[in-house]
A = this chain, B = another copy of it.
Amino acid sequence: MTKTPKRRPRNAERTRVEILQAALEEFSSMGHSGARVDRIAARAGVSKPMIYDYFGDKDAIYAEALREAYVQIRRGEEQLTLDPDDPCEAVRELVRFTMDHFRRKPWFIRILNTENLMGGETVARLHDAAEIQSVLVKRLSEVLAQGAQQGVFRRHVDPAEFYVSMASLCYFPISNMHTLRAVFRLPIDDDWLDRRALEASDMLLSYLTADTLPSERPAPPRST
């Protein structure tokens, strides 16, 4: 007869990590108010008091979970390698990576939505928030420079602004999948998202490779 141990073994670091991932999932699937400390404890296989021991209170766990979401995406971005000789392909790769990360780690989008719903008070207090996505923007910056130098891309495209456009096109179809499905009857699944990634790339590259921007062209002659 084997003794089933009633307590989990003493392992502070492991416990901390498990609580954090559990919290990330709970907060991102239920929102801040909807999240339940009991469920975080259950998901993490830990008793409730542990959570308070490790983190303090619900808001503090939330803040740590939010930071964890950023840390995870940064880890992904750091592994990204881009071909410096083919800026167009590099842009495609960036789009694929972004769409993929949003898709594979659904809690990232969800906890960002939660945070924005709450007015961003917590992210404003994450002291290292700014560094977090710096990796991606730096990569993007290099790609844009490379493309411009090769004469393939227009010049003077701001990397952060361009990142916002790219992120927009990847974020919205995923974050709003449920309402889009209901309202437009769109067939939202992995294939559809792949096609969205392709379309996003096309759109971004059309913009980057256009000789002149539409807003700078002369008004076309009206058809009479």
Q: Which A positions have Cβ atoms within 8 angstroms of B?
A: 29-34, 70, 85-86, 88, 110, 112-120, 123-124, 126, 129-130, 132-133, 137, 150, 152, 160-161, 163-165, 167-169, 171-173, 175-186, 196, 198-207, 209-210, 213-215, 220, 222-223
* Contact partners of A33 in chain B: CB under 8 A: 30-34
**Shortest beta-carbon distance from A210 to chain B in Å:** 5
Copies of this chain present in the complex amount to 4
Partner of A184, one of B160, B201, B207, B214: B160
**Shortest beta-carbon distance from A134 to chain B in Å:** 9
Contact B184 A116 (CB under 8 A): no
Q: A31-B117, A124-B182 are in contact. List 20 more A-B contacts (CB 8 A).
A: A31-B118, A32-B33, A112-B176, A112-B179, A114-B117, A123-B183, A129-B183, A132-B183, A133-B184, A164-B180, A164-B184, A165-B199, A168-B172, A172-B172, A202-B215, A206-B207, A206-B210, A206-B213, A207-B207, A209-B214
